[in-house]
Amino acid sequence: MSRLGTISAFALAALALLAAPAARAAEEAHLTVLHTTDLHGALTAWDYVSDRAAPSGLSRIATLVKRARAEGAPLLLLDAGDALQGSPLEAIWHERGAEGPEPMMAAMSRLGYDAMAVGNHEFSYGPDARRRARADATFPWLAANIVGADGTPAFAASVVRTAGALKVGIVGITTPATPALEDSANLAGLRFVPAIEAAQREVERLRGAEHCDVVVLLAHTGYEAPDAPAGDVPDENIGGALARRLTGVDLVILGHTHTVIPSLEVGTTLVTQAGSHASRLGRVDLTLTRSAPTERWTIASRKATVTAVRDSVAPDPDVEAAAKPLHDLTRAALAETLAFAAHPIAAPRGRLEDGALWELIQRAQLDATGADVSLAALPDPTLRLAGAIRRRDVMGLYPYDNTLGIVTLTGAELLATLERSARYLAPAPLVFVCSDGERVTGFKGRVPDRTQKRILNAKGFGGEREQRSLYCADLAHEAIKAMRQAVLVEGEFDCLVWWSWALSHGKAINWIALGGTSKPSPMTFKRLHELGAETVLLALDDDQPGHLATAAAVGFAWQAGLEPVVIQMPSGCKDPDDVFTRVGPKIGLETMSSNLWSAPEWLVRHWVGLYPPDSAAGVARILAEARRTGACAPPIALAAITTGVARAFGLAVTVVRTDLLHAAAEARRQLALQQFEYWAREIQTLKPQALPHALARGQAVPEALEGGSTP
């Protein structure tokens, strides 16, 4: 018997379901959605500013796409906008006459993209360039919320694709803030209508007249920060509102903000975002089932991941060959020497302090305009000019083809402008909570100003580890409520590594780190939920004790109503401190941000590694773990665990599902019974005035015992 046959036999024996097979196996359909966003002209695997190979580029993405297609499942390839402008390659192509097809559209067409949402930078080169690029694409540009002056659609609102047995509707949305972000001349004859209403109308049409089984919203807008400073461009980022308010949408793919959202559940909608500049490839795998051909498909499991593009991924030779003439032209143009710097020109404190790099930009703008005051941006505060200044250095200083404008301002308006810029620094959402006072004193008591709510510190707090962890969570309550997430690390020193690096670089990272969690406690997760957290990222040690702690933490998070996500340490690294030591803080944070696993997927992999499923004992242990976990897992997580276990054993999903659902219901009944016994003992010791409340609480227990739920 083959190994797979042995595993299946063991599994069937453990399940004891051979005598009662399902009357009719449910029909399954699978769909894979790959997605990119904010490519900004990142066509080749080359960094034109540093003039060296880069671990990014659409040519490397092409290789990953081909690998995914080779798996055989029905697949769609989508982009969430801003494919144009933002790279030296795009700038040189436009400067040298724009000969031939638009480079990014030609490459994306070669890759077989199915659709792209229109981004605000699709308008940046002007109406003629936009119309030409759109004509060069073999896939539709989607924007349901943009119409012409007469009210007719300016772009397609949606497109329907057939993927295997499924009809998939894809709706496009462009950030409503585009008129405030782009030159009005580039938007002549166009009007933006309310995005949510436009999207809902199109979703209803796709579900109704088009009979779509799956609906995807492809939106060039970010997930709005709950603590965004007042006065920002209105409705620039409405991804959360789209996910919460739209009905009938299964998947929301976001863009615009260049951030990474591997997987986020907002109600019944899955939200994801794949970074920028072809440095990430997003993937969503959906499994749908139906019991009869006349019934509608329903989603049984879903998983979203975002994978970082590595330099080990070879560029696709076809894409590279097509881009080579423009690649060579761009490198030659950027090698031109413009000036010579006798002394280094840099901004040592970045955007937080004046520097020679700032001075260079401001003087150039004043000389060009004759204005009294210069207001400028600093896209890359880490740039340093020294010796010969080549054109590639200037491209690094200002990657976008921005235009220089002259305006008349009063003193009060100028002050208001500066205050608005300052607000982007004040609410920095970086909050590192460290629970070990002795470690903190190693930094000589250098504690930042707490009024900035940047870093909160539990210095000097003693007590048991669990008490310290709870105290840290309470200190971070404002940030947890604002960010709706927390990151747990095993060691206090890991917190301090992140803390000190971020402090010295003036960085803001959308993470809250809680130290001291090597022995996770249910109380910590319950408190995080009470403080407003929705997601908890687990960055525990990559060893057997750390894995066991992570598995326990996943269960505690689900019990507390939180969504757990596991941060997988890179190969060869034990913990965040090790990651930072090996690759540096900046790359370390990017690496850990991209190495995220959904809790169900991580659990199944952990169980299979701990108990190999090639023996009866291993099968029994894995099933026991799955049954125990199923008692606290939410339905979508239980469905993912079911699929993972079924694949590990080579069984039909329906067989494993029946077993785990029964086990989960029984486990909840046992838990309810334990709670009832505890309540019965407790009520005997209560004072009379406490009895009414206790009796009211006890009334829920019999109902739970009857229905298999937990009171």
| Contacts of residue 108, Cβ cutoff 8 Å, sequence gap at least 6 | 58, 79, 83, 116, 137, 139
Higher pLDDT, 549 or 464: 549
Confidence of residue 321 (pLDDT cuts 50, 70, 90): very high
C-alpha triplet 485, 487, 491: angle, nearest 5°: 160
| Contacts of residue 9, Cβ cutoff 8 Å, sequence gap at least 6 | 1
Comparing 397-401, 413-417, 449-453, 665-669, the range with the smallest average pLDDT is: 449-453
Mean pLDDT (whole number) for 653-677 = 65
Nearest to 192 by CA among 241, 138, 239, 235: 235
Residue 44 has pLDDT above 60, yes or no: yes
pLDDT of residue 581: 66
**Quick one: residue 51, left, alpha or beta (phi over 0 = left, psi -120 to 50 = alpha)?**
left
Output the DSSP codes for 278-325: TSEEEEEEEEEEESSTTSPPEEEEEEEEEEEPPTTSPPPHHHHHHHHH
pLDDT of residue 479: 58
What is the sign of the dihedral through the CA atoms of 131, 135, 136 and 139? positive
Query: Are 451 and 480 in contact, with CB atoms under 8 Å apart?
Result: no
pLDDT of residue 380: 73
pLDDT of residue 663: 64
Across the chain, mean pLDDT equals: 78
d(CA 656, CA 626): 10
What is the sign of the dihedral through the CA atoms of 199, 200, 205 and 207? positive
| Contacts of residue 649, Cβ cutoff 8 Å, sequence gap at least 6 | 7, 8, 10, 11, 613, 619, 656
Confidence of residue 696 (pLDDT cuts 50, 70, 90): low
Mean pLDDT (whole number) for 674-697 = 58
Tens digit of each residue's pLDDT (9 = 90 or more) over 360-418: 889 999 999 999 999 988 777 777 888 999 998 888 887 767 778 888 999 999 998 88
Residue 469 has pLDDT above 90, yes or no: no
d(CA 105, CA 112): 10
Mean pLDDT (whole number) for 325-341 = 93
pLDDT of residue 565: 86
d(CA 221, CA 584): 31
**Token digits of residue 117:** 């949402």
How many other CB atoms are there within 10 angstroms of residue 391's CB atom?
16
Farthest CA pair distance, the chain: 89
Mean pLDDT (whole number) for 583-610 = 76
**Quick one: residue 651, left, alpha or beta (phi over 0 = left, psi -120 to 50 = alpha)?**
beta
Query: Are 531 and 477 in contact, with CB atoms under 8 Å apart?
Result: yes
How many other CB atoms are there within 10 angstroms of residue 527's CB atom?
20
Phi–psi pair at 290, nearest 5 degrees:
-155, 150
Confidence of residue 575 (pLDDT cuts 50, 70, 90): confident
Q: For the chain, state the CA radius of gyration.
A: 28
By DSSP bridging, strand 141-142 and strand 115-117 are parallel
d(CA 374, CA 367): 10
| Contacts of residue 689, Cβ cutoff 8 Å, sequence gap at least 6 | none
Confidence of residue 439 (pLDDT cuts 50, 70, 90): very low
Cα dist. 172→31, 231, 271, 351 in Å? 19, 27, 15, 35
Residue 616 has pLDDT above 90, yes or no: no
Instruction: Report helix, strand or coil for 53.
Output: strand
pTM of the model: 0.61
Q: Is 132 exposed, middle or buried (0-12, 13-18, 19+ CB in 10 A)?
A: middle
Nearest to 505 by CA among 582, 448, 559: 448
d(CA 698, CA 683): 9
Residue 473 has pLDDT above 60, yes or no: no
Mean pLDDT (whole number) for 10-17 = 47
pLDDT of residue 384: 82
Query: Are 435 and 472 in contact, with CB atoms under 8 Å apart?
Result: yes
Mean pLDDT (whole number) for 66-80 = 96
Confidence of residue 231 (pLDDT cuts 50, 70, 90): very low
Higher pLDDT, 117 or 362: 117
Amino acid letter, residue 673: L
Nearest to 278 by CA among 307, 305, 300: 307
pLDDT of residue 692: 58
d(CA 451, CA 11): 58
Query: Are 584 and 528 in contact, with CB atoms under 8 Å apart?
Result: no
Find the DSSP H helices in 531-575: 544-559
How many other CB atoms are there within 10 angstroms of residue 596's CB atom?
21
pLDDT of residue 228: 45
Nearest to 218 by CA among 386, 33, 379, 483: 33
pLDDT of residue 157: 97
d(CA 251, CA 656): 26
pLDDT of residue 506: 45
Most confident of 34-48, 255-269, 456-470, 590-604: 34-48
pLDDT of residue 584: 65
Amino acid letter, residue 373: V
d(CA 562, CA 553): 11
| Contacts of residue 136, Cβ cutoff 8 Å, sequence gap at least 6 | 101, 102, 105, 106, 109
Mean pLDDT (whole number) for 190-210 = 96
Amino acid letter, residue 443: F
Residue 672 has pLDDT above 70, yes or no: no
Tens digit of each residue's pLDDT (9 = 90 or more) over 282-292: 999 999 999 88
Tens digit of each residue's pLDDT (9 = 90 or more) over 121-174: 999 999 999 999 999 999 999 999 999 999 999 999 999 999 999 999 999 999
| Contacts of residue 257, Cβ cutoff 8 Å, sequence gap at least 6 | 222, 223, 237, 273
Mean pLDDT (whole number) for 486-510 = 54
**Token digits of residue 46:** 């080359």
The structure tokens 């700032």 sit at 358
C-alpha triplet 276, 279, 282: angle, nearest 5°: 80
How many other CB atoms are there within 10 angstroms of residue 466's CB atom?
17
How many other CB atoms are there within 10 angstroms of residue 145's CB atom?
27
Confidence of residue 432 (pLDDT cuts 50, 70, 90): very low
Percent of the chain with pLDDT over 90: 38
Tens digit of each residue's pLDDT (9 = 90 or more) over 94-110: 998 888 999 999 999 99
Query: Are 633 and 664 in contact, with CB atoms under 8 Å apart?
Result: yes
pLDDT of residue 467: 45
The structure tokens 């970086």 sit at 430
Comparing 71-85, 306-320, 505-519, 672-686, the range with the smallest average pLDDT is: 505-519
How many other CB atoms are there within 10 angstroms of residue 617's CB atom?
11
**Token digits of residue 594:** 């991209």
Find the DSSP H helices in 566-708: 576-583, 585-594, 599-610, 616-630, 635-649, 653-683, 691-698, 700-707
Percent of the chain with pLDDT over 70: 70
Q: Is 143 exposed, middle or buried (0-12, 13-18, 19+ CB in 10 A)?
A: buried
Amino acid letter, residue 13: A
Higher pLDDT, 678 or 633: 633
